[in-house]
Amino acid sequence: MSSAAGACRHLPLAGVRVVEFTHMVMGPTCGMILADLGAEVIKVEPPGGDKTRQLPGLGIGFFRSFNRNKLSVVLDLHTPAGLADARALVASADVMLENFRPGLMAGLGLDHASLAASHPRLISVSHKGFLPGPYERRTALDEVVQMMGGLSYMTGPEGRPLRAGTSVNDIMGGMFGAIGVLAALRERERSGRGQEIQSALFENCVFLSAQHMQQFLMTGEPPPPMPSRVSAWSVYDVFTLAGGEQLFVAATSDRQFLTLCELLARPDLAHDPALATNAQRVAVRPELLRRLGDSFATWGKAELAARLEAAGLPHAPITRPDELVHDPHLLASGGLVPMATDDGHSTQVVLLPLLLDGHRPGVRLPLARAGEHTAAVLGALRATPPA
C-alpha cells in the first residue's frame, strides 16, 4: 500500500498503489480512472518518455486527456537495472496495468503468470485487442475492431462503413479494466488473493452492437445501418433552419407532436386525422419530415431553441468539440477544469462524468513530466525494507 495518497483519504481508492505500463488510450484511461478515484498511479515510461506525448494530428490530445493525477517514472526495461526496478515497483503495488502487444510482458517476466506465485495479492490488468480465442494474436486498433464488431456498419450509410468520431473502444476498454480492478479489490478483501483481469477492444465493440444482434435474433432480419433505419418515432431528425443552421428536434409522443405543430403554427398537421398517432406518422415519415422542414427553414436557431426549451420538447444543437470548451452547463457543473501541463502551461480537462457524495473527482496533480518522479519513487522504494 502507498502512503503518498494519504492527503486524499476521502477518495475511495486512497491507499491503493497502481503501477502502469501503458501507452496510447486504453491502458492510460484505466489508470486515469483509478487515479481520479484516489489511487496512487505510477506510470512507467521508457527513456525519452511515452511516445504518446508527441503524437500529431488527432492524437495530439491523447496524453493530456488520459494521464492526469499520475506520477511518472522512467525505466529502461531492456536493461537489468531497469527491469529490476520495475519488478520492485510491481512488488510494492496492489494493481499492475499494461496494454502492450501479446507476449511482451511475459518476455520481461512481468506478466501475471510470472508474478502471481511471489505476489499472490497482485491484481494484474491486461488491455488487449481480443480476449483469448482465434483472434487473440491479431494486431488490433480501435478502427479495426469498429469494422469487425458491427459499429462501423451501423454508423455509416449503406455501403459506406464509418468509424465513430472518437476512440470509443479504447476508452471503454479502459473503463472495463477499471471496473475489473474494483471488483478484484473487493474480492481480495474476502479471499486475500489477487487475480488477472483482461479487457479487450473487440469484445467492447461487440457489446456496443449487442442490441442490434438481439434485434436480428428476435426478428430474423439484419438491422439496417442507422442512417437507413426505420425510426420508432416520426419526428426524430436533424432539421435545417434559416441561414443553413441545424438543430436536432424530436417529438416522441402524440402530445409532443401536437405541441410542436402548435409551436410551428401548423394546425393543418395537428388536426390531420391521418397523422393522429405515432404509428400513422411513421408510415408517412419522409413526407411529414418534408412538410415540417418547410416550417423549420423559416426559424433562426437561437429563437427556435428557446421556444422548444420553453415547450419542453427534446432538441439539440449540432455541437463541435471546440464549442464544448465554452459550454455553459459543462462549465457550471464543474466538468471542465484547469490542469497544469508538463510544459509549464495550463489547459482545460474533462473530468469523469460522475459525482461522489456530491463532488466531482478532480485534478489533484499537475500532468507529470517524463521521469519527474523517478528519483523520489525509487528512493522511497529502496529505503523501504522488503515485507
Q: Rounded to whole angstroms, how far apart are CA atoms 162 and 160?
A: 6
User: What homologous superfamily does CATH list for 232-321?
Assistant: formyl-coa transferase, domain 3 (3.30.1540.10)
- 3-state secondary structure (DSSP) of residue 336: strand
Match 402530445 to its residue by C-alpha cell: 255
Cell of 279: 404509428
CATH 3.30.1540.10 in the chain is located at: 232-321
Are 251 and 258 a contacting pair, CB within 8 Å?
Answer: no
Of these residues, 50, 142, 170, 272, which one is catalytic?
170
Among the four given CATH numbers 3.30.565.10, 3.30.70.1070, 3.40.50.10540, 1.10.3080.10, the one describing domain 4-209+328-383: 3.40.50.10540
Query: What are the Cα distances from residue 79, in Å, to 47, 101, 108, 242?
Result: 11, 19, 10, 65
What is the structure's pLDDT at 2?
A: 39
pLDDT digits (tens, 9 = 90+) for 61-117: 999 999 999 999 999 999 999 999 999 999 999 999 999 998 999 999 999 999 999
- pLDDT at position 5 over 50: no
pLDDT digits (tens, 9 = 90+) for 258-289: 999 999 999 999 999 999 999 999 999 999 99
Query: Stretch 155-167: mean pLDDT, rounded?
Result: 96
What is the structure's pLDDT at 231?
A: 87
What pTM does this model have?
0.93
What is the structure's pLDDT at 10?
A: 84
pLDDT digits (tens, 9 = 90+) for 7-52: 444 899 999 999 999 999 999 999 999 999 999 999 999 999 999 9
pLDDT digits (tens, 9 = 90+) for 129-142: 999 999 999 999 99
Q: Rounded to whole angstroms, how far apart are CA atoms 75 and 376?
A: 13
Four-residue CA torsion sign, 275, 281, 285, 289: positive
Q: Rounded to whole angstroms, how far apart are CA atoms 224 and 297?
A: 29
Query: Stretch 240-263: mean pLDDT, rounded?
Result: 97
Are 224 and 252 a contacting pair, CB within 8 Å?
Answer: no
CATH 3.40.50.10540 in the chain is located at: 4-209+328-383
Letter for the amino acid at 50? D
Are 239 and 294 a contacting pair, CB within 8 Å?
Answer: no
Active site includes 170? yes
What is the structure's pLDDT at 386?
A: 60
